[in-house]
């Protein structure tokens, strides 16, 4: 794997590992709790994050359809930590497999976003996947803090 892609993979792994750290040992009630109306639970955020990363890396950059149901990501309930961990692990494995096939010239290739028909580069799709994942990591961490405060924790 070329250094750029190895560095990218390290950043994506750091993000996923931080999510794993946040969810470790959480009860189902914490995973399904949302801090307010029109806000997402941790389970929803994990499903959406992994769905989004898979979409931008796979559907857009590699043009490999995931048959993603984005709306379903926001209806997730009653999934345990083990399911979330597997989803994160599968997401990283897919990303690693894809990035291992790429070279620097691929970054300049133009792709069509299948959800809206917009043209963008592979580089843009990869960077957006990472940006989107890290923004949701922050939301997961804040949701966890709010859960702990609500429960009289830390």
Instruction: Convert the pLDDT of each residue in 17-42 to its tens digit.
Output: 999 999 999 999 999 999 999 999 99
Domain count, the chain: 1
Range of the domain at 59: 3-150
Q: What mean pLDDT value characterizes the chain?
A: 96
pLDDT value at 153 more than 60: no
Exposed, middle or buried: residue 37 (CB in 10 Å: 0-12, 13-18, 19+)? exposed
The percent of residues in the chain predicted with pLDDT above 70, rounded, is 97
Section 43-65 average pLDDT = 97
**Tell me, what CATH number does 146's domain have?**
1.20.120.450
CA angle 38, 124, 59 (to 5 degrees): 70
pLDDT, tens digit, 9 for 90 and up, residues 121-152: 999 999 999 999 999 999 999 999 999 998 66
Residue 113 and residue 151: Cα distance in Å, rounded? 42
Q: What is the mean pLDDT of residues 73-82?
A: 96
């Amino acid at each position: 794997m070329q250094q750029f892609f190895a560095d990218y993979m390290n950043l994506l792994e750091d993000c996923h590992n931080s999510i794993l750290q946040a969810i470790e040992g959480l009860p189902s009630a914490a995973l399904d709790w949302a801090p307010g109306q029109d806000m997402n639970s941790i389970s929803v955020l994990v499903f959406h994050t992994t769905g989004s990363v898979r979409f931008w890396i796979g559907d857009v950059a590699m043009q490999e359809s995931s048959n993603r149901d984005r709306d379903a990501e926001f209806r997730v309930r009653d999934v345990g930590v083990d399911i979330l961990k597997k989803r994160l692990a599968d997401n990283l494995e897919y990303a690693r497999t894809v990035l291992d096939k790429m070279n620097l010239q691929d970054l300049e290739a133009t792709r069509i976003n299948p959800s809206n028909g917009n043209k963008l580069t592979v580089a843009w799709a990869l960077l957006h996947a990472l940006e989107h994942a890290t923004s949701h990591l922050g939301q997961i961490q804040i949701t966890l803090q709010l859960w702990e405060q609500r429960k009289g924790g830390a």
